Amino acid sequence: MSIVYTDKEKCKGCYACIRGCPCKAIRVREGLAEVIRERCIACGTCIKVCVPRAKQVESDMGIVWQLLAQYTNVIVILSASFPAALLKCRPGQLVAALKKLGFSEVMEDAFGAELVGQEYAQLLSKDKDRLVLSSNCPAVVAYIEKYYPRLIDNLAPIVSPMIAMGRVIKWQHNPEAKVVFIGPCVAKKAEAVDENVTGVIDAVLTFAELKEMFAAKEINPETEEEGQFSGPKPNLGRLFAMSGGLFKVAGLSDNILKNDVINVHGRDYVVKILREFAQSDIAARLVNLHFCHGCIDGPVIDNELSGFRRKELIANYAVREADPEQTDGDIEEYADIDLSRKFTAEAIGLAIPSEEDVEAVLREIGKADPQLQMNCGACGYGSCRELAIAVCQDLAEVNMCWPYVVNKLEAIQRDLIQMEKLTSLGQLAASIAHEVNNPIAGVLVYTQLLTKKLTADTLPKEKALDYLSRMESELARSSRLIRNLLDFARQTKPALRLVNINVVIDQALSLVAHSAQMQHVEVIKNLSPTLPEVMADPDQLQQVCTNLILNAIQAMPEGGTLTLHTSADSKGQVKIEVQDTGIGISQENLQKLFTPFFTTKKEVKGVGLGLAVSYGIIQRHQGRIEVDSEEGKGTTFAIYLKAHYE
């Protein structure tokens, strides 16, 4: 019987469930997080952290409907946490609604807690040298059976309140009845079929499932007349659902100075305490363990109340309904119920990976050097080494290492930037070839003239110097253009320094100036002479400006006006505007403009990465890029960068 299952279509492979699964029943398979062990009972943490709700608990609703249809006596047991879970109706109204649903009687497992509490008190008084771990949380019990089987003898051989109440009903109150438990705990479903306590609970519903059943029968508990609980009456047992409730019911003191008893709740603390307990570092007489913060924090309580408010609701109900004399009489009546239980070691062994394999994983994620092992815990494991071991055991993936993923994404982004540069170079090739060819042709002409006139001995010195000066000028212009191209194409590491934006724009414009001339685009520069500098990578900013200017030119196939404007505002920002009078962009496409591989160009001249890469560059510079466009009138891109002042 699998208690948790995965909807593969919904699973996004976020691995949150793996980090939250204390019983390690979740692992990665084919990119998805799946339950691989039978009866993953855990504590429901993997369900609570699953945002897409791909992890779900198998429902017993079908079984319950069948029981109600076939049997006259079907008794329901309510978890002591119900006042904190079902808020919109009074307890008596809930009883009436449950009976309307078809249940013959409604009881509280809090009376089972009364019996269990007395058993704990007797156990501690009889065997004063024994160190005891509580056995009320089935998730903790299952964890110990699997991962700390040597601690089984320390588990209190006492059933949980749910099983205690089931035995009260099946062994004495009404042996013919069918019993259904309703509560907030996922692990209760597995506990009901545990071979060590089986036979007294026929089905388990969560509070969420109960609400579904009410909805199916169109029953609104808020409108029902109040009914009465039946069976034995609890008193302080109603506090059992709270963290530390066991101590109250058993009459134990959790005095922090004595440390005789310890109350531990929360997955991380439970795992740590068990490790310390196994190493004999904990000497408390009783350690009460809950994976949740008490049952009032069960994974299937679907309201947003704080733990303090939930405690208050339960405490108020307990005080209001208290009848100590009735409870004492009922305890005496059911004093002969056997509350003992056994445990079964289900040790799960995983192959210990070799040191070479662990080191190989550490090298892959860039953590081979111990000084680089941040042990940040973002992966859900306590250290980088623990993650590497889990990867070797096929319980995790290297992509769970956040720094590794960040570095990987940065490398991919650098590759995309370089890819877009090469694409832009391809678009500029024809223009640049023409731009470089003109001065070289001029130099060739002057070389031929010099040769001819020197041969005829008719060249004055002044004329020769003039020819050489013109040749030097043309060659220098070509050299600058080629150097700018090489700087643009070169893959360099980001290097922040003070940059004059106007200079960057001039360099970018020099690369595409001929393209503007060929398409009859008039370029207007309105660059502020008092513009403050910015702290940036000039190569990357030049790439952004080149891309935006080139896009603007291509958006004006019939010619037009390109305006480049720089300014500084009162907010300490430098603003760069690239404005064209081209065909514009539709509102629909504006929403997709910065999406990778999206392009509005009919004749594809790139791979649709230019704006996406530009957007990423500006974001890394802690700036922003905005666009305003109207079809048929043109487009304006505005870049905002933080100005640097001395």
Tell me whether residue 486 is in a domain.
yes
Structurally, how many domains does the chain consist of?
A: 4
User: What distances in angstroms separate CA 4 from CA 26, 160, 162, 167, 458, one per listed residue?
Assistant: 10, 22, 21, 26, 99
User: What distances in angstroms separate CA 398 from CA 251, 351, 356, 386, 615, one per listed residue?
Assistant: 49, 18, 16, 12, 28
Residue 315, classified by CB atoms within 10 Å of its CB into exposed (0-12), middle (13-18) or buried (19+), is middle
- Residue of 488, 131, 119 whose CA lies nearest to 340: 119
Query: Which residues, listed in sequence order, are joined to residue 579 by a DSSP beta bridge?
Result: 563, 636
- Residue of 298, 19, 57 whose CA lies nearest to 185: 298
Provide the pLDDT for residue 511. 75
The answer on 475 and 585 residing in a single domain is: yes
The answer on 598 and 494 residing in a single domain is: yes
Which residue would you say has higher pLDDT here, 378 or 81? 81
SS3 638: strand
Most confident of 113-117, 126-130, 308-312, 439-443: 113-117
Tell me whether residue 323 is in a domain.
yes
Provide the pLDDT for residue 572. 87
Q: Which amino acid is present at 570?
A: S
Tell me whether residue 307 is in a domain.
yes
Provide the pLDDT for residue 490. 53
Provide the pLDDT for residue 203. 94
Mean pLDDT of 370-398: 82
The answer on 326 and 420 residing in a single domain is: no
Q: Which residue shows structure tokens 């791979």? A: 607
Provide the pLDDT for residue 434. 55
SS3 313: helix
Supply the DSSP symbol for 158.
Answer: B
Provide the pLDDT for residue 142. 87
The answer on 91 and 224 residing in a single domain is: yes
The answer on 208 and 298 residing in a single domain is: yes
Query: Which residues, listed in sequence order, are joined to residue 206 by a DSSP beta bridge?
Result: 183
Count CB-CB contacts under 10 A for residue 448. Answer: 10
Report the DSSP pairing between strands 534-536 and 497-499: antiparallel
Provide the pLDDT for residue 79. 92
- Residue 565, pLDDT above cutoff 50: yes
Domain span including residue 51: 1-58
- Residue 275, pLDDT above cutoff 90: no
Q: Which residue shows structure tokens 């035995």? A: 167
Does residue 87 contact residue 237 with C-beta atoms inside 8 Å?
A: no
Supply the CATH number for residue 35's domain. Answer: 3.30.70.20
Q: And the tokens for 488? A: 């643009």
Q: Which residue shows structure tokens 């170079």? A: 425
Which residue would you say has higher pLDDT here, 438 or 141? 141
Most confident of 309-318, 372-381, 456-465: 309-318
The answer on 544 and 438 residing in a single domain is: yes
Tell me whether residue 32 is in a domain.
yes
Provide the pLDDT for residue 63. 92
- Residue 277, pLDDT above cutoff 80: yes
- Residue 383, pLDDT above cutoff 70: yes
Q: Which residue shows structure tokens 């733990």? A: 307
- Residue 312, pLDDT above cutoff 60: yes
CA dist., res. 25 & res. 28, Å (int) = 10
Q: Which residue shows structure tokens 């603390």? A: 269
The answer on 519 and 431 residing in a single domain is: yes
The answer on 137 and 281 residing in a single domain is: yes
Specify whether the backbone of 247 is left (phi greater than 0), alpha (psi in -120 to 50) or beta: alpha
Sorting pLDDT into bands at 50, 70 and 90, what band is 256? very low
pLDDT in tens, 521-542: 999 999 999 999 999 988 888 8
Mean pLDDT of 210-219: 93
User: What distances in angstroms separate CA 597 from CA 226, 314, 410, 488, 568, one per listed residue?
Assistant: 64, 57, 18, 21, 33
Tell me whether residue 274 is in a domain.
yes
Tell me whether residue 340 is in a domain.
no
CA dist., res. 621 & res. 537, Å (int) = 8
Residue 367, classified by CB atoms within 10 Å of its CB into exposed (0-12), middle (13-18) or buried (19+), is buried
What is the percent of the chain where pLDDT is above 70? 78
The answer on 104 and 9 residing in a single domain is: no
- Residue 55, pLDDT above cutoff 70: no
Does residue 344 contact residue 148 with C-beta atoms inside 8 Å?
A: no
CA dist., res. 109 & res. 245, Å (int) = 14
Most confident of 23-37, 274-288, 465-479, 589-603: 274-288
SS3 232: coil
- Residue 16, pLDDT above cutoff 70: no
- Residue 626, pLDDT above cutoff 80: yes
Q: And the tokens for 49? A: 């952290």
Q: Which of 279, 305, 333 is the endpoint of a domain?
A: 333
- Residue of 147, 553, 71 whose CA lies nearest to 346: 147
Q: Which of 299, 333, 367 is the endpoint of a domain?
A: 333
Which residue would you say has higher pLDDT here, 318 or 454? 318
pLDDT in tens, 118-154: 999 899 888 777 889 988 888 889 888 888 888 999 9
Provide the pLDDT for residue 35. 56
Provide the pLDDT for residue 74. 96
Mean pLDDT of 560-571: 91
Tell me whether residue 185 is in a domain.
yes
The answer on 48 and 79 residing in a single domain is: no
User: What distances in angstroms separate CA 479 from CA 214, 474, 577, one per listed residue?
Assistant: 82, 9, 29
177-206 burial by CB neighbour count: b if 16+ within 10 A, else e? bbbbbbbbbbbbbbbbebeebeebbbbbbb
Q: Which of 305, 333, 361 is the endpoint of a domain?
A: 333
- Residue 574, pLDDT above cutoff 90: yes
- Residue 381, pLDDT above cutoff 50: yes
Mean pLDDT of 473-484: 64
Which residue would you say has higher pLDDT here, 215 or 251? 215
- Residue 419, pLDDT above cutoff 70: no
Tell me whether residue 345 is in a domain.
no
pTM over 0.75: no
Which residue would you say has higher pLDDT here, 263 or 424? 263
- Residue 292, pLDDT above cutoff 90: no
The answer on 355 and 324 residing in a single domain is: no
Up-side HSE of residue 612: CA atoms within 13 Å toward CB? 18
Supply the CATH number for residue 568's domain. Answer: 3.30.565.10
- Residue 52, pLDDT above cutoff 50: yes
Sorting pLDDT into bands at 50, 70 and 90, what band is 64? very high
CA dist., res. 431 & res. 515, Å (int) = 6
The answer on 379 and 271 residing in a single domain is: no
